[in-house]
Amino acid sequence: MKRGYVDTPEGQVHYRTEGNGEPLLLLHKAGLSSDEFTEMLPFLGKKYHVIAMDVFGYGNTEMPVPEPGFADYVNNILHFLDAMKIKKTNILGHLLGSSFAVEIAAVHPELVKKLILWDAIYLEPQVLKDTQEEYRTEHMEFKLDGSHLMKVWNGRGPKPDSNLKLVQRSAIEYMKSSLGEASGVSHRALFSYDIEPKLPMIKCPTLLMHGSGGPLFARQAAIRDAIPGCREVTLDIPGPFPFWEKPAEISKVIIDFLQK
């Protein structure tokens, strides 16, 4: 795996890459970074030129000022592809990244060959409204006693049978995201996005993936039915960190889909 930076109009963007051939862009969830795909890169890199980028404020990509909106995130991804001289790519998006991927595939179909969505976000209208209000003022509030760090830890939902190394890894990635501020910014952008009219606009082959314990499993059928010809796969992965826990299994399904 190699790591690097590329210049965009919004500033430098950090990325991880492996392999050669047809490109595959990986877009991470909120609260993590391109590190979410570190374990998958060796598997996917055997067949594809895989690029995992850090979106605004996450990993080693700085957060711009003023606070970016949804369109700003998407424009930066487009500028990243242009800077990397990628004219057409496959895209895999997870949660936050899945919404960016949907927008690009719907509005810029010439850029996307195939699309893979893991736990795409499609909320009922009232749930969306409540979620927008919940995240409207989300920010990291620092406490003298360090209790805000325990809040980050507890927010990962650790249980007696949890892999605590992965829980800690996710907590560290969260704190690296502009000291936790990137989560609130990206959530406000994410939940301002109306995904419903964009789903029927997707014309490229699309695979909808999720784990058996995925947080949005109940609404995945609605997404599948809204995207023309969309395929759906459910894997027996109950944990919250699918790409760290089952990289080989997930990569195989992705490669099979891309090569058919």
Domain hosting residue 53, numbered range: 2-259
| Mean of all residue pLDDT scores within the chain | 94
Q: Which of 247, 259, 249 is nearest to 26 (CA)?
A: 247
Helix (H, G, I), strand (E, B) or coil at 66: coil
Torsion, Cα 4 119 95 134, to 10 degrees, reads -160
The DSSP call for residue 59 is T
Confidence bin at 252 (pLDDT 50/70/90): very high
- Percentage of the chain modeled with pLDDT above 70: 98
Query: pTM of this prediction?
Result: 0.96
Looking at residue 239, its pLDDT comes to 80
Cα–Cα distances in angstroms (integers) from residue 259 to residues 41, 106, 255, in the given order? 17, 22, 6
State mean pLDDT over 134-144: 88
Is residue 105 over pLDDT 80?
A: yes
- What is the predicted pLDDT for the residue at 157? 87
**Closest by Cα among 48, 114, 117, 51 to 83:** 51
What are the start-end ranges of the H helices in 64-219?
A: 70-83, 96-107, 125-135, 147-155, 164-176, 181-190
* Confidence (pLDDT) at 216: 65
**Tens digit of each residue's pLDDT (9 = 90 or more) over 7-55:** 999 999 999 999 999 999 999 999 999 999 999 999 999 999 999 999 9
Query: Does the pLDDT of residue 158 top 80, yes or no?
Result: yes
- 58-83: average pLDDT: 97
Q: Which long-range contacts (CB under 8 A, 24 or more apart) does 156-162 make?
A: 156/240, 157/240
Q: How many CB atoms lie within 10 A of CB 54?
A: 26
DSSP letters of 209-237?
EEETT-TTGGGHHHHHHHSTT-EEEEES-
Q: For residues 212 and 11, give the distance between their C-alpha atoms in angstroms, rounded to a whole number.
A: 38
Q: Which two tokens stand for residue 209?
A: 């993936």
pLDDT band for 250, please (50, 70, 90 cuts).
very high
C-alpha closest to that of 175 among 144, 203, 146: 146
- Kindly report the CATH number assigned to the domain that includes residue 227: 3.40.50.1820
Q: How far is Cα 250 from Cα 129, in angstroms, rounded to an integer?
A: 33
pLDDT of residue 220: 85
Exposed/middle/buried for residue 24 (C-beta within 10 Å: 0-12, 13-18, 19+): buried
Cross-strand bridge partners of residue 12: 7
Over 90: is that where the pLDDT of 87 sits? yes
Instruction: Flag whether pLDDT at 81 surpasses 90.
Output: yes
Confidence bin at 61 (pLDDT 50/70/90): very high
Domain count, the chain: 1
Please report the sign of the dihedral spanned by the C-alpha atoms of residue 103, residue 232, residue 215, residue 157: negative
pLDDT digits (tens, 9 = 90+) for 189-241: 999 999 999 999 999 999 999 988 666 666 888 999 999 999 999 999 888 89
